Structures are given as structure tokens and as C-alpha cells.
Amino acid sequence: KQEVTQIPAALSVPEGENLVLNCSFTDSAIYNLQWFRQDPGKGLTSLLLIQSSQREQTSGRLNASLDKSSGRSTLYIAASQPGDSATYLCAQPGANSKLTFGKGITLSVRP
């Protein structure tokens, strides 16, 4: 059974800090990994999808990496802003692209 783990569950940082959010997965046969953002009471917004053939994927201040051998993905947020405060979830697809989610990391960026 696929398992996806995100630790810690919550993180608080001052504005301007560069930070890394971690995601661990058990299924080494991963073919891609998707990062989402969820604001309180809202749905999920897709941030980045990184294919297993890629090592990194970038969108603005966000950079995601994927290391199949270690079973880890990281989401790097540069120069964090209060508007980045949200819950960040990673998810690994299985057969028929059914997603297995981590429980998320709730990020708070203090002004």
C-alpha cells in the first residue's frame, strides 16, 4: 500500500525566509508527484507536478524536486510571504491516477 508522509504537520516562519517542505513516499515505482495548496475552507489548487523523469520543476518562487531513490520530494519556497500561508499537500498517483495524499503541512508566514 502506498504511503505518503509529510513532517512536520505545521511550520511557522518569519516573512522573507526561504523554506523547504518535505514529502516522503514508500512506492519507489512513482511516475509523478503533485503538490497542492489548500487555503482554509477552500479546495485544492495544483501548484506543481513533477515527473519521475525530471529532477526539478519550477513555477515562480516555487521549486519542487523528486528523488526516487530516497523516496523524497521537496517543495522549496523562496522569499516567503504572508500570502503563502496555507496548507501544502503532496500526493502520489497509483493505478488509474488515484491519488494517495500526505496529511499536509500547515504553513504560517509571520509578517
Partner 1 sequence: DAGITQSPRHKVTETGTPVTLRCHQTENHRYMYWYRQDPGHGLRLIHYSYGVKDTDKGEVSDGYSVSRSKTEDFLLTLESATSSQTSVYFCATLDGTKNIQYFGAGTRLSVL
Q: What residue has cell string 514508500? A: 26
Length reported for the chain: 111
Q: Is 53 in the site for partner 1 (CB under 8 A)?
A: no
Range in contact with partner 1 (rule: CB under 8 A) among 17-25, 40-48, 56-64, 71-79: 40-48
Instruction: Pick the closer one to partner 1 by CB: 15 or 39.
Output: 39
Q: Give residue 101's Cα distance to chain centre.
A: 10
* Cα separation, 87 vs 77, whole angstroms: 13
Q: Given the rule CB under 8 A, which residues bind partner 1? A: 32, 34, 36, 42-46, 49, 51, 89, 91, 93, 96-99, 101-104
